[in-house]
A = this chain, B = another copy of it.
Amino acid sequence: MSDADDFLKVANAGRDAAAVLAPLPRAAKDTALHAVADDLLARAAEIVEANARDVEAARSAGTPDAMIDRLRLDEARVESIARAVRDVAELPDPVGEVIRGSTLPNGLELRQLRVPLGVVGIIYEGRPNVTVDAAALCLKSGNAALLRGSSSAYQSNTVLVRVMQEALAGTEVPAEAVQLVPGTTRESVKHLMRARGLVDVLIPRGGASLINSVVEESTVPVIETGVGNCHVYVDADADLELALEILVNAKAQRPSVCNAAETFLVHAAVADAFVPMALTRLAREGVTVHGDERVAAYGGQSTGVTVVPATEEDFRQEYLSLDIAAAVVGSLEDAVAHIRRYGSAHTDAIVTRSQKAARRFVSLVDSAAVAVNASTRFTDGGEFGFGAEIGISTQKLHARGPMGLPELTSTKWVYTGEGHLRTSGGTVIATGSDAS
């Protein structure tokens, strides 16, 4: 059997499972999630053992220690994965929620309900905990999951999915509601990207190159996630000490995540006051500043801080490291133009005391999230109170910003009448044989 046949078999099984899973009530899904958590704990040794083979292979391949640490599972990590599954079980079920509804003038009762998307494909890198997290979120939202993890975690992912499937076998949720895309080759990703009609949506989770390649090649609708070139704009009316704390937090509190700041922009009116203090403080935090000419002018002898000259590429980059680009801008509008030009429309912040400037910035910046006098780091499903997050969408269709369970659903209109017919003159209600 060819790779393509293997994939088709899995995808079709996913579709069938999705049809069974979709109408299940919350209780059936929660029971299944707890069964999964129970089995993950009971079979932790088996999971850790499979993971050890991935770790060993990664080590032989000369993988850096930091990446090996991300890959590694021990009993404690398996416990925390199982706990996360139980947390998902505790979240409200988005399916069946009535979003809108009314009785139309002609008496038709109209409701718009949340329904599952169907089959959700997830392509991800790195940590094997995503395998279980993503499966649990899909299952709770009534979707079948088709998972394609990193080939470096293939042994771990295989065992994790097997444990989940065997746990599901004793529940109302079909085991095929959670499946791994077969194979570790690049071809196997392509099958998933071209499964239009079999897979309802693809969510790539990972770095910019992964996401771009999926967006380019997929014929299945994609939800883009996670690339964050976030900005902090220090307005002419900013409280500069507040601005500095927000900037440092946005950049340095956790530089490796998508909601960390990658560029700061300073209004020319406060550049003399702000830039030197920012350079000094950022240097102390270990941050390298890549500045435009006007920022660079504050470096060197006057502050004792070396500013690296910024290129166009610096302003486009998502460093994910202790680096930040910086520029002085002539106006709030120039800051917005810079953000529109170079940003990734993830999260952009303004620090200002001015209501007018805040209103204008919020209105003009076209990003998934706009922060006013707050760190960009708050753009996060957990912080927003969603309880769980499948990713942060940076696209405009379907979902934008942190995606929780409701973002893993579609909708369905239901209208109920008693023989309602549409005519050119308006609604007529047919009288059936029951009429008396």
Among A364, A369, A419, residue most surrounded by chain B Cβ atoms (within 10 Å): A419
Q: Does A420 contact B (CB under 8 A)?
A: yes
Q: Do A422 and B249 form a contact, CB below 8 Å, given A395-B221, A415-B371, A416-B372?
A: yes
- Which stretch in A65-73, A168-176, A284-292, A377-385 binds the other chain? A377-385
Q: Do A416 and B373 form a contact, CB below 8 Å, given A201-B396, A421-B245?
A: yes
Q: Does A253 contact B (CB under 8 A)?
A: yes
Q: Does A200 contact B (CB under 8 A)?
A: yes
Residue of B nearest to A402 (CB): B413
Q: Does A40 contact B (CB under 8 A)?
A: no
Q: Do A358 and B416 form a contact, CB below 8 Å, given A434-B239, A434-B353?
A: yes
Q: Does A312 contact B (CB under 8 A)?
A: no
Q: How far is the CB of A425 from chain B (nearest CB, A)?
A: 11
Count A interface residues, CB 8 Å: 78
Report B-chain residues with C-beta under 8 Å of the C-beta of A200.
Answer: 396-397
A396 to B118, CA, bound (A): 9
Q: Does A418 contact B (CB under 8 A)?
A: yes
Q: Do A375 and B118 form a contact, CB below 8 Å, given A366-B412, A430-B241?
A: no
Report B-chain residues with C-beta under 8 Å of the C-beta of A366.
Answer: 19, 22, 115, 118, 412
Among A108, A115, A223, A379, residue most surrounded by chain B Cβ atoms (within 10 Å): A108
A241 to B420, CA, bound (A): 13
| Oligomer: number of copies | 2
Q: Do A432 and B242 form a contact, CB below 8 Å, given A201-B396, A374-B416, A417-B372?
A: yes
Q: How far is the CB of A402 from chain B (nearest CB, A)?
A: 8
Report B-chain residues with C-beta under 8 Å of the C-beta of A378.
Answer: 108, 415, 417, 420, 422
A243 to B401, CA, bound (A): 46
Residue of B nearest to A358 (CB): B416
Q: Does A219 contact B (CB under 8 A)?
A: yes
Q: How far is the CB of A137 from chain B (nearest CB, A)?
A: 17
Q: Which of A393-419 contact B (CB under 8 A)?
A: 395-398, 400-402, 410-419
Q: Does A104 contact B (CB under 8 A)?
A: yes
Residue of B nearest to A434 (CB): B239
Q: How far is the CB of A398 from chain B (nearest CB, A)?
A: 4
A370 to B417, CA, bound (A): 11
Q: Do A420 and B375 form a contact, CB below 8 Å, given A245-B430, A245-B432?
A: yes
Q: Which of A1-58 contact B (CB under 8 A)?
A: 19, 22-23
| Contact in complex: B373, A414 (CB < 8 Å) | no
Report B-chain residues with C-beta under 8 Å of the C-beta of A246.
Answer: 419-421, 430
Q: Does A190 contact B (CB under 8 A)?
A: no
Residue of B340, B401, B412, B422 near A413 (CB, 8 A) is B401
| Contact in complex: B384, A413 (CB < 8 Å) | yes
Residue of B nearest to A369 (CB): B413
Residue of B219, B377, B402, B412 near A369 (CB, 8 A) is B412
Report B-chain residues with C-beta under 8 Å of the C-beta of A221.
Answer: 221, 395, 397
Report B-chain residues with C-beta under 8 Å of the C-beta of A370.
Answer: 412-415
A370 to B377, CA, bound (A): 42
Q: Does A214 contact B (CB under 8 A)?
A: no
Q: How far is the CB of A170 from chain B (nearest CB, A)?
A: 24
Q: Does A265 contact B (CB under 8 A)?
A: no
Q: Does A423 contact B (CB under 8 A)?
A: yes
Q: How far is the CB of A22 from chain B (nearest CB, A)?
A: 7
A150 to B220, CA, bound (A): 27
Q: Does A227 contact B (CB under 8 A)?
A: no
Residue of B nearest to A364 (CB): B23
Report B-chain residues with C-beta under 8 Å of the C-beta of A196.
Answer: 215
